Amino acid sequence: MTSTITIPRPDDWHVHLRDDAMLDAVVGYTARRFRFAMVMPNLIPPLTSVAAAVAYRDKILASAPADSGDFRPVMALYASPEVDLDDLRTGIADGVVAAVKYYPAGATTNSEAGAASMRDLMPLYEVLADTGTRLLVHAESTDPTVDIFDREAHFLENQLAPLMDEMPELLVTVEHVSTAAGVELVRDRPGTAATITPHHLARERSDLLADGMRPDLYCKPVINSEADRVRLVEAATSGDPAFCLGTDSAPHPTTAKYGPKAKAGVFNAAYGLEVVAETFHSHGSLDALPAFASHNGCAIYGVDAPSDHITLVREPVDSELATQFTTSAGDEVVLFGVEEAMQWTVREADPKG
């Protein structure tokens, strides 16, 4: 079984970089590992204008370490009635806005500005359809009567699928897909794509709940059943070009994760690639990693393939790895994936190689 693989530098098509001291602390983990990074717009206030997206992109680049290489933040606006449609068209035409992200109001971190229903924003979708710009969807019902583990499937059936039936020309990416239902929707609809996270590939709900609640694994949508995890792994390792890597790396300080109500988010930017590599390796599909991590997203978003490469070697790491970091503001954040990272070394590929 292959234990060493060289792949084109991967991209992260879904990441949260936060702001201020947290941005300064986390951006290097993404910038040193990935080339393109689709940055989520759920700041406070959310990114609803081209000017705000440009300012945030410039702030990200200013915070990125000098050894980041060819790091390129890709900007999305927050789907909201506050979005000026002419401004959106200008941002798309100028190459500033690559996508628009829909959040159900109240579904996850900083989603209070989201819409109560997808149908509330039809004029915005018409602009996206007209310009061939993708709608990124956090597919999760906020109906409190729906079981937490059924909320992705409920949202897909009752909100997203009807919208896609009405607007088949709309390009949709189902973000951080977490269920077999999500995989099936993507496969049944040409042009639809999905990002899959390291933690949804490598963990299932027993890991979250069976041996005491583990708040560092709490995310939205929640990590689901083992049967769902198996379907996600099958989709990711299949080579199907509709599925690509999106870490959904989302840092929260331990004061927010370990409080009475844990904030939703898993910080995996440091070791997420090793987690994915270990998942592919354990399923005998390491050769499928370049498609999932490096190629499929480029095709989905119409960007050039990378020219540089990295090499992953499965060998035990003989030194201790960091399990957390502390921001300049004193906030501690726990790193996900340490156990997988202890089995993998990631290094720059020899350009002559």
Report the distance separating Cα 17 and Cα 207, nearest Å: 26
- pLDDT tens readout for residues 283-340: 999 999 999 999 999 999 999 989 999 999 999 998 899 999 999 999 999 999 999 9
Residue with tokens 């993404």: 30
Task: Report the predicted TM-score, pTM, of the whole model to 2 decimal places.
Answer: 0.96
Please give the pLDDT value at position 236: 98
The residue among 323, 326, 321, 311 whose CA lies nearest residue 9 is 311
Phi-psi label, residue 191: left if phi above 0, alpha if psi -120 to 50, beta otherwise: left
Instruction: Please report, for residues 32, 41, 312, the alpha-carbon distance to residue 51 in angstroms, rounded to integers and kept in the order given.
Output: 26, 13, 39
Quick one: DSSP state of residue 211? Answer: T
The proportion of the chain whose per-residue pLDDT surpasses 90, expressed as a percent, equals: 92
- pLDDT tens readout for residues 149-192: 999 999 999 999 999 999 999 999 999 999 999 999 999 999 99
pLDDT at residue 79 greater than cutoff 90:
yes
Report the distance separating Cα 24 and Cα 225, nearest Å: 35
Report the distance separating Cα 256 and Cα 123, nearest Å: 36
- pLDDT tens readout for residues 105-134: 887 877 777 788 999 999 999 999 999 999
Report the distance separating Cα 132 and Cα 260, nearest Å: 43
pLDDT class of 274 with cuts at 50, 70, 90: very high
The proportion of the chain whose per-residue pLDDT surpasses 70, expressed as a percent, equals: 98
Please give the pLDDT value at position 39: 98
State mean pLDDT over 43-51.
Answer: 97
- pLDDT tens readout for residues 226-267: 999 999 999 999 999 999 999 999 999 999 999 899 999 999
Active site residues: 248
Please list the residues that pair with 136 across neighbouring strands. 101, 173
At the second CATH level, the architecture of 4-348 is: Alpha-Beta Barrel (3.20)
Write down the mean pLDDT value for the chain.
95
pLDDT at residue 1 greater than cutoff 60:
no
